[in-house]
Amino acid sequence: MTEITKKEFDELYGDVEVEFSSYYKYTFNYRGQTDDFKTVSISFGGCADDIYKQEVEAGEKVKVKDIEGTYATVYENDDCENVVHSYYEGY
């Protein structure tokens, strides 16, 4: 696994489309897939004071670079093992 910055993550995966997948403890989670079938998971939130600003529409696809993600991970496949890249910017 390679830890990278949000900027590096956006350079590599910014154009990948992800879709809202879940919400838990003030955090919105999105998932998508790269052209070479890697799974991209990106999360936004964590702060109750700011999370109300996030707009989510079921089924809408958004690009990774358009999400102010708090943390993200790319997996080699869909079983969430073999992490390729990740970043964490804290809450």
Whole-number Å distance between alpha carbons of 29 and 51: 12
What is the DSSP annotation of 23-75? EETTEEEEEEE-TTS-EEEEEEE--TTTGGG----TT-EEEGGGS--SEEEEE
pLDDT interval class at 65 (50, 70, 90): very high
Strand partners, 44: 28
Question: Which strand ranges, in their side-by-side order, compose the sheet holding 61-63?
Answer: 2-3, 83-88, 71-75, 39-45, 27-33, 17-24, 61-63
11 three-state secondary structure: helix
Q: What is the pTM of this model?
A: 0.85
Give tens-digit pLDDT for 2-58: 888 889 999 999 999 999 999 888 888 999 999 999 999 999 887 777 777 777 888
Decide which of 43 and 68 is more confident. Answer: 43
Residue ranges making up the domain that contains 37: 2-88
How many domains does the chain fold into? 1
